[in-house]
Structure 1
Amino acid sequence: MTDLVRASGPVVMGVLNVTPDSFSDGGRYADLDAAVGHGVRLRDAGAHLVDIGGESTRPGAERIDAATEAERVLPVIRELTAAGVAVSVDTSRARVAEAALVAGAAVVNDVSGGLADPDMARVVRDAHCPWVLMHWRGHSRAMRELATYTDVVADVRAELAQRIDTALAAGVAADRLIVDPGLGFAKTAAHNWELSARLPELLDLGYPLLFGASRKSYLGGLLAAADGTPRPTAQREAATVATSVLAVAAGAWGVRVHDVQATADALAVWAATGSPRLAVPPHDRKRTQDDHEHGVRR
């Protein structure tokens, strides 16, 4: 497989949850044939990676045991890799990640950034595979209480830097690391928008960045009906595409999305128009930060 960490263009990661309770597609792909069929469709629609998760990480979700998680993801990984689909495993458990890599997964997407299972660094180091380190402060059932920051961008940047340092100290190669700001994980809607607006400050860490806003509740809140009812999950695709293209234009390495076709099409348009970049000079970036802190609108 091509080394996606060094990909010349944006990487599209397609979401495949083989869970009964994920916020967007829980239960739809719990059956092996349904999961494999959808994974192939995601690849055919333009996904460079199909990200397979067996444990819901939606806010408030309860944990399952490692054996159950492995039973859900391993057969799907084996079938998809046999069909020539490049696969990542969405897990925070070293035991599950290790088995998934043996089954054919090429990337570990760890929502805990290595915090949930200290043995994950060993697994990734020995496999020499890419490792997505997401910003994380605690498991799903407690994440709402952890959404407290002095400056969300500065705090997330500092905490991601700590995760990077820990991974490097454990012997993981720097060129295997990808960071993810963890939109929605111990973040309010305001936090998510601030992270999106100031993405260059996270890119200053010097590592590829994965951006995952797909169908999340803060998009539903932005698009709420007049009575305040959030836009339903399945009707957040246009907003997802917009956030994805803006993130790539700001310098993101890749995006994680449910509807691959729409995002791939939009990125094809972006590329055909010269891959224009959003660039905020340092002095303007600081002004934008100061404006936000003082409530100035431009």
Structure 2
Amino acid sequence: MAPRFNPKSDLVDLKGQVIIVTGANRPWGLGYSTVKHLVSAGAKVYIAARNEQQSLESIEKLKADLRLGEDERSAGEVHFLKLDLADPRNAKKVAEEFLMKESRLDVLVNNAAMVFAPYEKTNDGISKIVVTNLISPFVFTKTLLPLMAKTAQEKGSDVRIVNISSLSHKFVPNIKELKKPEDLNQDFRRRPLAKFTRYAHTKTLIIIWTRALHQHLKSLSSTMPGVERVVTMAIDPGNIDTFSNRWPLPWLWRPLVRLLMSAPNVDVGAYPTVFAAAGKKIHEDPERYSGVYLDVKMKVANPSRNARSDKLAEELWTLVEGITNDIGV
């Protein structure tokens, strides 16, 4: 990927802005590099993750790498927000606590995800990977919307919701409907690479949800002023090497693995996410970017037929709202 985007010159002014990035607790991960770029640009960023010890260690590493606090003109701040997306009830509770903590929220990056895991259901009867990758982010985002709407009413505001998807969504079989929990609870056990397909299925659902969210925000403008100005995007960050460092003999495998990657390292690999969160081009033309899918080149692109279906978007919104209402969130 050509470095046509430069986070040092192509971001809006982030000083005074508050941002949440979920699942950014691993120092070799995409979320961590995203946080690093945003903090470097002056933002106050919350790492929202389940593993507190790892998150705090990552925060200390960030502070040391960026030399935070050593220069009044230096970068922003980074804080920890304990969030467990395995349970939508926790997602709602943490979001409500955040509403008491901060008076604004400019950007939410829903980055956390379960990747390849055995097929299991929660006590609520929903696939665990669907709960972690879709249901809990849905609840977390919905609970934070009033604060984002309030922030969006400010003059010159730039409020965004960025949902991380994947190119893998294009390998999902045709989705006929999303009307009942069983439509979400696909185990794909009769297909080769079932774990990959379950993950890709949730990444399709994320794009469909983003499409539905865009429409929903417009319908809320009369009851939640400002919310229609919130820009929503789903993005494909590309293939990033966030794993070879944990393999045996990483020095041997890393050069070979990175030949297949879309970026030379994780910091560059975070560019699409950082662009979606704070790129100047989006601030200059928010209508062009709201409700869209961005590819790894940071261009508005067409996702799969499943992902661009208005019918599935409407069905998914109704289904997830029903599920969350049933469990009291």
**TM-score if structure 1 supplies the norm length?**
0.39
* Structure with greater contact order relative to length (CA < 8 Å, sep ≥ 6): 2
**TM-score if structure 2 supplies the norm length?**
0.36
